A and B are shown apart, each in its own frame.
Chain A
Amino acid sequence: MGWFKRTKKNISDKSQKRNIPDGQWVKCVDCDEIMHKKQFELNLWVCVKCGSHFRIGSDEYLSFLLDKNSFSEMDRKLISADPLDFTDTQKYSDRIKSSIKKTKLNDAVKTGTGKINGKKIAIAVMDFKFIGGSMGSVVGEKIARAADKAYKDKIPLIIISSSGGARMMEGAFSLMQMAKTSSRLARLADAGIPYISVLTDPTTGGITASYAMLGDVNIAEPNALIGFAGPRVIKETIGRDLPAGFQKSEFLVEKGFIDFIVNRKDLKNKISLLLEYLT
């Protein structure tokens, strides 16, 4: 029963715990350090002792990345319309409803404009907590429109990704969002407008295979899972264990697909510096 005993090191288990817990006290998944919620927040949801980056959502990123009160949200009202009338163990329309209720978000990405150290940008931040951050028609359309906003206003685009990939419940519509978003980035690139992609834990599947890998600069948070196929699928396909650190940020830098890794506390200033070079 090897795998059962090893639950502490089980990827998906740990991955679950990396979400922000409720309550006044937070225990680090990686080093067991106990932190007060306030202390944890002030450290941008990063363990004060070992530096482990917890998974956060759009509100958290926007709170420390953008200049105070500079965010103006776009397309907040876009909601999935269940194009296939999809049902698995539950109806997709019910899944959407309960996710909206639970997360207080309308889908898995928040988009808008804001300022970083005084510089205007278009920004999209994904929310993993909304159906695994999956991309259906709403996510695709909002990302495309954020790119269009950057194009029209000639301002840089920043996308912070966190997603398991394309959303199954919208079938081919979801797949086509990969082409939709990538083609809008092509237009942006042809106009010489910069696009910075920030990959956080996890960024896989159709997101990595479209906009997340297409930045003029690709940045990752430390120790984030980044890949095309998920580790479980690869393991099942090849029938052996995966090497340590496989598909982690550091691995992707090593293989040449990420420009550099940045700690959350340095993210704003790093992007700000990059924008000096790119604009």
Chain B
Amino acid sequence: MAEVILDFERPIRDLENKIEEMRKYEDNLGLKKEIENLEKKVNQLKENIYENLTRWQRVQLARHPERPYTLDYVYMMTEDFIEFHGDRNYADDKAIVGGFAKIDGQKVMIIGHQKGRDTKSNIYRNFGMPNPEGYRKALRLMKLAAKFDVPVITLIDTPGAFPGIEAEERGQAEAIARNLLEMSRLKVPIIVVIIGEGASGGALGIGVGDRILMLENTWYSVISPESCSSILWRTWEYKEQAAEALKLTAKDLLEQGIIDRIVPEPLGGAHKNHQKMADILKNTLLEELVLFRKIKPEKLIEQRINKFGKMGFYKE
């Protein structure tokens, strides 16, 4: 697949290309010093650009087609993964994957949205947009985990639950609603990580948990900037403004008290170094799992319900 370069990544890429070119002649022309200077410049430029990204640019990074997806993390962070299929009712939804895995020897149930890398695999995965059976499969696996006292990790990366005729016929709304209710009273710890896009109910449908984490360059909100623009401004043109207004980045959500932690990404974004990103996330998850070692199920559930109870902002 051809490399995808976002607008704001372009100046960095150009400099990097120049350095690469110069390296070829390094020995003959004594360019060592100049290369070193340019490398410094690239790093500065990177830091500058990535510290000052607009919210819309973060949305673009969250959707970067080279970002690691759920199964990439599963294979890079865990061992002995066994994938489970189907909701035992209608079908196996390819837009949500899940199964048992071991993370540093520790048993977990890991469930997440799955996007594809190219047209073919994206059609197979329905672009990471689940149908009701995806949410029902996720719930089945969570209950399986609870039955055998295994903690649950969910990885969120979806442009939304699929808006289709069949999805409505099979109860998209009911499936998501049921998950919200059942996840809030699941007897094992649930750690939720937004790894890309967290679009509305389609994300929250596997997003109720004891700890909510967001990778640095991800977004999570009630609606996508494009849809928000089209409804409130009656045109798609205002997506940048909508992204700003929605305050949907990891930093925003931490300030809003909705998430608990931001997971840093390698400089330039998760797509720049998959293995490094997976290592960071793995270590983070290991730290998180320790928090729930000795907690009783009743207390865990009570805390979880109260956690979401505190979310909101109003005058009285």
> Which residues of chain A have a CB within 8 Å of any CB of chain B?
75, 77-81, 83-84, 86-89, 137-138, 140-141, 144, 166-168, 170-180, 182-187, 189-190, 205-206, 208-214, 227-229, 233-234, 237-238, 242-243, 246-247, 255-257
Contact = CB atoms under 8 A, between A and B. Distances in A.
Contact of B222 (A75, A174, A189, A233): A174
Contacts of A211: 177
Interface stretch (B30-38, B100-108, B143-151, B245-253): B245-253
A176 B172 contact: no
B231 interface: yes
Given A205-B201, A214-B177, A88 B163 contact: no
Contacts of A227: 168, 172-173
A88 B245 contact: yes
A77 B315 CA distance: 8
A89 B233 contact: yes
B313 A170 contact: yes
Contacts of B167: 228-229
A70 B162 CA distance: 43
A163 to B, nearest CB: 12
Interface of B: 161-165, 167-174, 176-178, 180-182, 184-185, 200-201, 204-205, 207-208, 220-223, 228, 231-233, 238, 241-242, 245-248, 252-253, 256, 258, 304-305, 308-309, 311-316
B314 A208 contact: no
A178 B258 CA distance: 13
A186 B184 contact: yes
Given A89-B233, A179-B208, A246-B165, A137 B305 contact: no
A178 B228 contact: no
Contacts of B184: 179, 182-183, 186
B256 A228 contact: no
Contact of B168 (A79, A83, A187, A234): A234
B174, B207, B220, B223: residue with the most chain A Cβ atoms closer than 10 Å: B174
A233 B314 CA distance: 31
A247 B169 CA distance: 8
B214 to A, nearest CB: 10
Given A179-B308, A180-B312, A214-B178, A242 B165 contact: yes
Contacts of B172: 209, 227-229
A228 B171 CA distance: 8
29 contacts: A78-B314, A79-B315, A84-B246, A88-B228, A88-B238, A88-B242, A89-B233, A140-B312, A166-B201, A168-B228, A168-B232, A171-B221, A172-B253, A173-B313, A175-B220, A176-B312, A178-B180, A179-B308, A182-B180, A183-B181, A183-B208, A184-B309, A189-B181, A208-B174, A210-B177, A212-B177, A228-B173, A228-B201, A237-B162
Contacts of A183: 180-181, 184-185, 208, 304-305, 308-309
Nearest to B135: A209
Given A183-B304, A234-B165, A172 B248 contact: yes
Contacts, number: 196
Given A234-B165, A238-B164, 5 more contacts: A140-B312, A166-B201, A179-B180, A206-B200, A256-B171
A266 B271 CA distance: 59
B231, B252, B314: residue with the most chain A Cβ atoms closer than 10 Å: B314
A186 B185 CA distance: 7
A131 to B, nearest CB: 12
A212 to B, nearest CB: 8
Nearest to A254: B169
A275 to B, nearest CB: 22
Given A84-B245, A175-B204, A234 B164 contact: yes
Contact of B233 (A88, A140, A141, A167): A88
A80 B313 CA distance: 7
A138, A140, A176: residue with the most chain B Cβ atoms closer than 10 Å: A176
B182 to A, nearest CB: 7
Contacts of B247: 84, 171-172
Nearest to A234: B163
Given A175-B201, A209-B201, A168 B258 contact: no
A167 to B, nearest CB: 8
A89 B232 contact: yes
B305 A81 contact: no
A39 B163 CA distance: 41
A137 B312 contact: yes
